[in-house]
Copies of this chain bind each other. A is one copy, B any other.
Amino acid sequence: MTNAGPGRPRLTKQRRPGPTAQAEILDAAAELFTTKGFASTSTRQIAEVVGVRQASLYHHFATKDDILAALLEQTVTPAMELATRLADRAEAAPERLYALALFDSRQLMSGRWNLGALYLLPELRTERFAQFRRERVRLRAQYEILARAVLDELDRPGDTALAGLPFRLVETIINERSDRESDETDRGPDPVDQPALVADAALRVLGWPGEITQLRAAAERILADATGPRP
């Protein structure tokens, strides 16, 4: 393995998962940011955990902020790509909203590190993260467009305030996961399928009265078609 930097051999054998040195750096930084804190982590520590020289790290990311920005983008980009594809599809709005909420919740639940826990950092309010904030606002808007279409279908177009709730429900995965990872919460050997629970709730809060089992099956078919089969 000599992919740690241009022409530089790495100090040690690969320590972090990832197909490229860049992915290894992101994985190490994600662990440190979510377990020690962003402000308390230095690029030197990240390089040490990856097992590369700090100069190699700087070849990939000029600053610690750049690493955080790349990690945050990873949490939004796949859902945004799906939302864009869903906008062009012919399925009914409840099925598409369920598909987006289920996909996004699963992704927030299953990533190796709970990166959504970084969303509320005050550091994210700076100009450096304006692009990430805009991306997240765009994703939220996609949720709201689908939610308003569901409300229209239910003849509740006046209840647009409700349209913000599905996005907020999906974000609760971050809190649920944080609590599950802390020592106080023991949900037993068979924990609830939180992504499905949240996607169900995203439709229920809009007043959708139908049969959830069928809706979920329809959403899974959309996801299989729009994102490829799940492993």
Residues of chain A whose beta carbon lies under 8 Å from any beta carbon of chain B: 34-40, 117, 119-123, 125, 133-134, 137, 140, 161-162, 164-165, 168-169, 171-172, 174-176, 178-179, 182-185, 192, 197, 201, 204-205, 207
Name 13 extra pairs, CB < 8 A, besides A137-B184, A165-B197: A34-B122, A39-B39, A120-B178, A133-B182, A140-B179, A161-B197, A162-B197, A164-B192, A165-B201, A168-B176, A172-B172, A201-B205, A204-B204
A2 to B184 Cα, complex, angstroms? 42
Taking a contact as CB atoms closer than 8 A, the residue among B37, B174, B183 that contacts A123 in the complex is: B37
Residues in chain B near residue A36, CB distance under 8 A: 122
Residues in chain B near residue A164, CB distance under 8 A: 176, 192
Contact sample, A vs B, 20 pairs, CB 8 Å cutoff: A34-B122, A35-B122, A37-B39, A37-B121, A37-B122, A37-B123, A39-B39, A39-B40, A117-B120, A119-B175, A119-B178, A120-B120, A120-B175, A133-B182, A133-B184, A134-B184, A164-B192, A169-B172, A172-B172, A205-B205
CB distance from A186 to the nearest CB of B (A): 10
A140 to B183 Cα, complex, angstroms? 15
- Most B-side CB within 10 Å, residue of A34, A121, A122, A175: A122
Residues in chain B near residue A140, CB distance under 8 A: 179
Residues in chain B near residue A39, CB distance under 8 A: 37-40
Taking a contact as CB atoms closer than 8 A, the residue among B38, B40, B125, B171 that contacts A172 in the complex is: B171
